[in-house]
Structure 1
Amino acid sequence: MFEFHDPALTPESSVAEKCAWLTNRYIKLDRDVALEEQIAGLFKMGDDDARTAEPMIDSLTGETRGMMVVGNSGSGKSALLRRTLRSSGVLSIAGRETEGNTLYLTVPPEATIKALATSIAEATGYPKVSSRAKSYETWSIARHRLGERGIGLLVIDEAHHLMRRGSGKDVEGAIQTMKSLLQGEHPVAVIIAGVQKLPDAIMEDPETDSRFPKFELPRLLEGSKDAASFARGIQTCARALGLQMPEDGTLTDRILFAEAGSMGRSVRLAKNIMMNVLMDGRSQIRLQDAHRAFAMRYGSFPQSPFDAYEWLALRQDLIDGGWSR
């Protein structure tokens, strides 16, 4: 299914307007509904059975709930999370000077667990945290600010960066911190997201692992329902933009094969193909347009999924030759 989040294009829309419109497109898959349901389980239901933004708290342990979103790089984790939060109806992302009940942070590669606490404090409006403050002091400030700002959900994207061992890193401390965020005076629901390194590290502590059930984003399989949804979404985009897909009808299959079923990368490649055609002033998408967009990102290959040959035969040739990007 393809979702439109802004006004439809008009016949007078410029190329720049069409490209901007295309950039904002989002293709909804079954996993979107599944994630919505799992996130809803982190929160209490209201008296009228409507969803609320108040975290579910276990009456015996006093703990909130957490979850872990796991997928390979390029699987579309961040886009999926942000879209789900935006469309929830009850969750709103807070900023340093804007109100909201959800704090969304992206962890940079060099981050430490203390740096995460500093980011939380400063993102919730706290003046600059002293570099001399100890880690536990910084976390005390961060936890207090979460409660003071009414944050009920903390989303930590790219959390696997906290699990990298090395100088200044405290992986065990990071794992314990994930668990402690669900406890204490100002507990919050927590979503951590990352690549496979994240669950691999969390599993080292069974208590923390049990508190963060995994929501995994598998690759899109050829012939699957999600692959069909992807194809329909791209075709809908093309029609809205006044573009015609290649006549053989295999472009989306070739894109998924080229990107090894990675949803995020497949969508990005499809959008790049369409944008290039728009900027060329044409309406017909050709396989060579896809070949060019693919080569611009990954370099040239002696053979690629976008060569102008019958797709099933070409696909088998690529597999037999051990093709990979």
Structure 2
Amino acid sequence: MPNSSAFEMQQTLLKLRQIHLETERDTELSKNLERLLQHDSSGSPLPIPVRFTGNLETRGIMMVEGSGGGKTTALRKVLSEHPALMPNKNDDFLRVVSVQVPSPATMKSLGLAILAGTGVHDLSERSKAWDIWKMVKHRFGLLGTVVLWIDEAQDMFFSGQPSEIDNMLKTIKSLMQNETAVIVILSGTERLSDVTAFDPQVNRRFAKITPRDLVSGGDEQDLLGSIVSKYCEIAGLSFDAGGNVTGRLIHGSRGRFGRALETVLNAIECALFEEADELTRLHFAAAWEAQEGCAWKQNVFVIDDWRQLRLDESAAEFEFERKERQFRKLGRA
């Protein structure tokens, strides 16, 4: 491929990756966030959390979805564009602090990660956990922080001992109390809701958002087909949907919207690299083979009985055993 063609392909893919498709995730997030923010007399949202329980505490949002569903992208989009949370060049407030759970996840490591999100990077790791979290709350008050978003939040609860998990849950609850209380947003996989359900006091403080998986054969399959066609139009390709490409795409993506879009982009990249005029099932097959590392005879875009293809069996067994071990620990605690 000539250098000029490679550049054009990269620019086309960059343009496609910058497209944000609004889904029920965006709608539900925006609705719940609006409910948790105060509004002025004209109805405009303010960067002030609503207080509940006798004006003593805030509430939070929990978004639970399997890996590759699109929750992180939706949260980043909604939080970055909400008018009450956007940065103001006339002040130094930090309305939103976002972190990804560090590994290994402990009270201290999570507290240090949140402090880093507020601009504090030089705190000694020998500092006591209690002092770290006290400083977190102080920084929230100083910076006018309204929202704390913790991504991959399920990892907070599956690397420590039961006592550590209990402390994590209590700390989350404490962040939504007193003068510096913030709206806490937790996003993660199904494991997140499994663990928070063990503490009713924490669980009741969160509105739950659980986006549905894509279903092959329904309206969602037609919608996905129209998305692929639109992407192809931008990329200068036609789209051959023969062989139930969109149904195979949904199955191969485990019903996850984000994973489906990633496969579409990878397939378009394969077509552009070949300098093809049409996006076909073979391009999807090549993209899926590279992504999954599977044999051709196990490729969802190749085999006839693709609906019977079992995906992620080993991972599901590992996850089940891991949850069972952790729940036994929690039960003993």
Q: TM-score when scaled to structure 2?
A: 0.84
Determine the C-alpha separation between the residues in 2 that align with 1:153 and 1:218.
25
Q: Does 1:251 align with 2:245?
A: yes
Partner of 2:39: 45
Give the 3-state SS of the residue equivalent to 1:190 in structure 2.
strand
Q: How far 1:117 sits from its partner (Å)?
A: 1.3
Q: Deviations over 1:66-105 (max 9, x none)?
A: 11110111111111111222332332379xx975311111
Q: TM-score when scaled to structure 1?
A: 0.86
Give the 3-state SS of the residue equivalent to 1:53 in structure 2.
strand
**Where does the alignment leave 5 or more consecutive residues of structure 1 unmatched?**
1-12
Determine the C-alpha separation between the residues in 1 that align with 2:190 and 2:208.
11
Q: Deviations over 1:237-283 (max 9, x none)?
A: 11111111115273222211111211111111111101121122222
- 8 Å contact kept, 1:32–1:84: yes
Q: How far 1:233 sits from its partner (Å)?
A: 2.1
Q: Aligned AA for 1:237?
A: Y
Partner of 1:242: 236
Determine the C-alpha separation between the residues in 2 that align with 1:294 and 1:98.
46
- 8 Å contact kept, 1:144–1:186: yes
Name whichever of 164-173 and 293-302 sits farther off.
164-173
Determine the C-alpha separation between the residues in 2 that align with 1:185 and 1:243.
56
Q: How far 1:38 sits from its partner (Å)?
A: 1.2
- Name the CA shift for 1:198/1:247 in 2 (closer, same or farther; >3 Å): closer
Q: Deviations over 1:138-172 (max 9, x none)?
A: 00011100110111011000111110143697100
Partner of 1:58: 52
Q: Does 1:318 align with 2:306?
A: yes
Give the 3-state SS of the residue equivalent to 1:275 in structure 2.
helix
Q: How far 1:54 sits from its partner (Å)?
A: 1.4
Q: How far 1:59 sits from its partner (Å)?
A: 6.0
Q: Aligned AA for 1:277?
A: A
Q: Deviations over 1:107-150 (max 9, x none)?
A: 13312122111122222122511222111100001110011011
Q: Aligned AA for 1:302?
A: K
- Name the CA shift for 1:134/1:297 in 2 (closer, same or farther; >3 Å): same
**RMSD between superposed Cα atoms in Å:** 2.3
- 8 Å contact kept, 1:112–1:169: no
Identity among equivalent positions (%) equals: 25
Find the partner of 2:124 among 130, 137, 142: 130
**Where does the alignment leave 5 or more consecutive residues of structure 2 unmatched?**
1-6, 313-333
1:182-201 matches, within 5 Å, as: 182-201=176-195
- Name the CA shift for 1:108/1:47 in 2 (closer, same or farther; >3 Å): same
Q: Aligned AA for 1:82?
A: R
Give the 3-state SS of the residue equivalent to 2:279 in structure 1.
coil
Q: Aligned AA for 2:297?
A: P
Q: Aligned AA for 2:129?
A: S
- Name the CA shift for 1:252/1:100 in 2 (closer, same or farther; >3 Å): farther
